[in-house]
Amino acid sequence: MKKSIISCLLVLLTLYPIFGQQISPANKAKQETYREISHRQQKTGWILLGVGLTTTVVGAAAFNESWDSPSNSSTDIFGFLMLGGVISTFSSIPFFISAGANKRRAYQLSFDLSPQPFINSELTGLALKPQPGFRITVKF
């Protein structure tokens, strides 16, 4: 009798790490990290695009007005302002591309082999009991 109880306890102790695991939030944390990075890169891209277009338009309008002026220095300043706006506009493109790549990484298929919560009504009340399972999550 004692040997059967001891053997049952040994079996339970060896199986506990398999069936009694906590659900790991590592995958969710990684997805949240990619979402935050994507959001920041997209925000940076929009800021660069807005500033670039604004300075391009202002620089072009002021360049046109100062073309007939006797001072070449103001024309040069507005020409450089317009050029800086164009460079800023084109530099926003890599931020949008990398934001899209990070967004795809965040929303890709995630496979999880961790134990899944299961409602066991055979116990004295309703209790969540982790059961081994396979979960596929697709987020859009």
Give the DSSP H or E segment for 77: helix 72-106
42-78 pLDDT, tens digit each: 999 999 999 999 999 999 998 888 887 777 787 888 8
Q: Which residue has the higher pLDDT, 136 or 65?
A: 65
Residue 34 has a pLDDT of 87
Q: Which residues contact 112 (CB under 8 A, 6 or more apart)?
A: 27, 134, 135, 136, 137
Write out the two tokens for 83. 């050029």
Identify which of 20, 14, 16 has the alpha carbon closest to the alpha carbon of residue 114: 20
Residue 20: strand, helix, or coil: coil
Q: Looking at this protein, which amino acid is placed at residue 31? A: Q
This model's pTM is above 0.85: no
Write out the two tokens for 137. 């999550």
Q: Is the pLDDT of residue 22 over 60?
A: no
Q: Is the pLDDT of residue 38 over 90?
A: yes
97-135 pLDDT, tens digit each: 999 998 888 876 555 555 566 665 555 555 566 666 656
Confidence class of residue 93 from pLDDT cuts 50, 70 and 90?
Answer: very high
Task: Specify the residue for token string 């102790």.
Answer: 13
